[in-house]
A and B are shown apart, each in its own frame.
Chain A
């Protein structure tokens, strides 16, 4: 029989098995982030030409490990925790097939360890993308495959949990928006993992000699169905978390359920086309295909993100105004809890994701503009804005919410937690902006030596490029410091944070449930529908969230200006046809 506890602070119900799974996945994610962060420090200190820390072979090895741990392991482990939370906890239901979920978790751990060992052994420095015909050791691919199978099991456990909740009628009406968003992430994840299987299984067989040849162009097209779409899981997941955070902090309701849910549907329908972003300057792919796919079919997925960009802060503004923060355009924002890392983390993630990550992504994903950007350091700068700040900082903010609620511990060093989003955002933004600049000057990504020492021919980048990369280096170090602060607070809280409930012992923070007496609810109350508003403000004359609308228009202006600046820059390069 399922056993639940109710969190006295938040009112969330936790199923005993689901809770342990969430903890285990979140902790595994944090371990991956630790590895990724340490390796990231090596990368940024080597790209900073004045420091040039690591030798070439170690640099390429470290860069491979950094990419895989940060972009795949950290994020997907954490997303598994989010899927279990959004299904079991939010719908107040027992989790489906917890043994399968643990089996999936075990596969993910085995896969992660196996892949990291392959990289550590030194003969798999092939970068995260591992473009065939460059070959890694067989267990490099096998590790990724096992990890993906484990994640796929997690997705089906999530879907099964939704079915159980529906059958047991644990909620009234439709599933909540946050769960809807998590469902979006799950559907995209299944597509992504299918692409991964289609390309990685043959590549694994090729690496052990069963298949003679992998076509290099085909590999790129299908691999990016995994590589880019997996970043779209993150978008769907972190947007859902943003809705969750504004609900928890501000009691905010979406401005319109219809608009927000339709935007998630647009993600499902169009985000997968983004494989095209990586092959815009590849041979053998037609312009028509590139134009249609790179634009997600006329930018309908970009439209979805622009909609969330308005509705999330807009919903927060409406809730704040209802509380009386109505002065001027921005009192609702000034009076937000800036000391609370859950809020500051969420809000910085939103702004940096939209203003930097979103705009640069669309610009470089334009078919012709990609000619001046492909494989320059502009590319990592873009995805650090989207994933390393957008997704990662959102998950950090969510962690601060979950430490008391899920782990039942008080935050360790709360002053450090308070400053963490500021330090992390400042460092990462500095790094991103200056790398964007260096990329515009043509500085290559995944490159050990800007000086080309020892090459048969010689080349020098302009002096400005060196300065930009040095400032980016300072920003990167600050970003790693911010990441370290997160891990100190998180691990410190699990080990030394004040216990809020009776503990079951030393390993309670890492997957073991709380003391048995905490689980005293056998059947949670059915989740009610949101109360109807006394005054229906939708459809009335005025704008409900004028401050947000002003921010959205500012975003649009930056977007338009920057977009055409890049066309202008493109027009200055040699004519090509």
Chain B
């Protein structure tokens, strides 16, 4: 019952600690430090890190960049949505809006692209399936990251941040072609 009685020592911070607790605290602390160091380690040696590159933007400004890319590199369309094939290594823009990812992108396997993402209205979630890369897309902010698709095929962008009644209809596509 002494867990709810005052401690038997008035100066409780001066009582000795049992060996078992000391060993466990030591082991747990070492594990905590390993987990902490794994994150900087992965920044140096790992291949999956988000960049720190982001800009404040406005929907109109971002839309203009997307439109420019679509005009320059459009190669077709699917269900009325333009399919864009930007050159390898270039800047690729994709926007999320109620309830669509726009436009459809075609990439080459093994090439790197600077992918710019932003939202026109509310928060959206960029969830690339079945690769399972998930990013938060926040209105007013342009996120930039370098992606290097290492698989060919058809990939879908699911919206995984709740964005209103059409949320579950919000899909986008990224095609990766062998070169």
Interface residues of A (CB under 8 A from B): 56-57, 60, 90, 125-127, 131, 133-134, 171-179, 215-217, 220, 243-244, 246-248, 251-259, 261-262, 279, 281-284, 286-287, 291, 294-295, 298-300, 302-303, 306-307, 310-311, 314-315, 362, 366-368, 370-376, 440-442, 444-449, 452, 454-459, 461-462, 527-533, 537-545, 549, 552, 556, 559-560, 563, 567, 570-571, 573-577
Complex CA distance for A263 and B171, rounded to whole angstroms: 46
Nearest residue, chain B, Cβ from A563: B35
Nearest residue, chain A, Cβ from B99: A455
Nearest residue, chain A, Cβ from B162: A446
When distances are taken between beta carbons in the complex, the residues of chain B under 8 Å from A298 are 32-33, 36
Complex CA distance for A444 and B170, rounded to whole angstroms: 12
Q: Distance in Å from the Cβ of B19 to the closest Cβ of chain A?
A: 7
CB < 8 Å neighbour of A529 from B3, B8, B162:
B8
CB < 8 Å neighbour of A281 from B27, B81, B135:
B135
When distances are taken between beta carbons in the complex, the residues of chain B under 8 Å from A538 are 15-18
B160 touches A243 (CB 8 A): no
When distances are taken between beta carbons in the complex, the residues of chain B under 8 Å from A576 are 47-51, 133, 145-148
B49 touches A176 (CB 8 A): no
Contact A259-B21, Cβ < 8 Å, known A216-B123, A216-B138, A374-B136: yes
CB < 8 Å neighbour of B162 from A127, A300, A577:
A127
11 further contact pairs, Cβ within 8 A, besides A244-B4, A253-B3, A375-B161? A178-B3, A247-B4, A283-B142, A368-B48, A456-B79, A529-B7, A529-B10, A539-B19, A574-B151, A576-B49, A576-B51
When distances are taken between beta carbons in the complex, the residues of chain A under 8 Å from B8 are 529-533
A251 touches B134 (CB 8 A): no
Is B64 among interface residues, defined by CB-CB distance under 8 A?
no
A303 touches B25 (CB 8 A): yes
When distances are taken between beta carbons in the complex, the residues of chain A under 8 Å from B4 are 90, 176-179, 243-244, 247-248
Contact A552-B24, Cβ < 8 Å, known A367-B39, A373-B134, A456-B100: yes
Say whether chain B's binding surface is mostly helix, strand, loop, or mixed. Answer: mixed
Nearest residue, chain B, Cβ from A284: B54
Nearest residue, chain B, Cβ from A217: B138
A530 touches B2 (CB 8 A): yes
Kindly identify, within residues 43 to 70 of chain B, every residue whose CB is under 8 Å from any CB belonging to chain A.
43, 46-52, 54, 56
CB < 8 Å neighbour of A455 from B5, B48, B135, B169:
B169
Contact with A along B75-102 (1 / 0, CB 8 A): 0001111000000000000000000100
A283 touches B54 (CB 8 A): yes
Q: Distance in Å from the Cβ of A150 to the closest Cβ of chain B?
A: 27
Nearest residue, chain B, Cβ from A577: B146
Q: List 26 A-B contacts (CB under 8 A).
A: A90-B4, A134-B122, A173-B7, A244-B3, A256-B21, A257-B12, A262-B13, A281-B50, A283-B138, A295-B35, A298-B33, A314-B20, A366-B35, A368-B46, A368-B50, A372-B134, A442-B134, A447-B167, A448-B168, A456-B79, A538-B15, A563-B35, A571-B47, A574-B150, A576-B47, A576-B49
Contact A299-B21, Cβ < 8 Å, known A243-B3, A375-B136, A570-B48: no
A255 touches B36 (CB 8 A): no
B163 touches A454 (CB 8 A): no
Complex CA distance for A451 and B56, rounded to whole angstroms: 35
Nearest residue, chain A, Cβ from B37: A298
Nearest residue, chain A, Cβ from B40: A291
When distances are taken between beta carbons in the complex, the residues of chain A under 8 Å from B31 are 556, 559-560
A375 touches B133 (CB 8 A): no
When distances are taken between beta carbons in the complex, the residues of chain B under 8 Å from A372 are 132-134
When distances are taken between beta carbons in the complex, the residues of chain B under 8 Å from A175 are 6
Most buried by B among A303, A447, A574: A574
Complex CA distance for A367 and B42, rounded to whole angstroms: 10
CB < 8 Å neighbour of B20 from A127, A300, A448, A544:
A544
Complex CA distance for A486 and B43, rounded to whole angstroms: 48
Most buried by A among B6, B78, B129, B151: B6
Complex CA distance for A94 and B14, rounded to whole angstroms: 31
CB < 8 Å neighbour of B38 from A283, A366, A545, A574:
A366
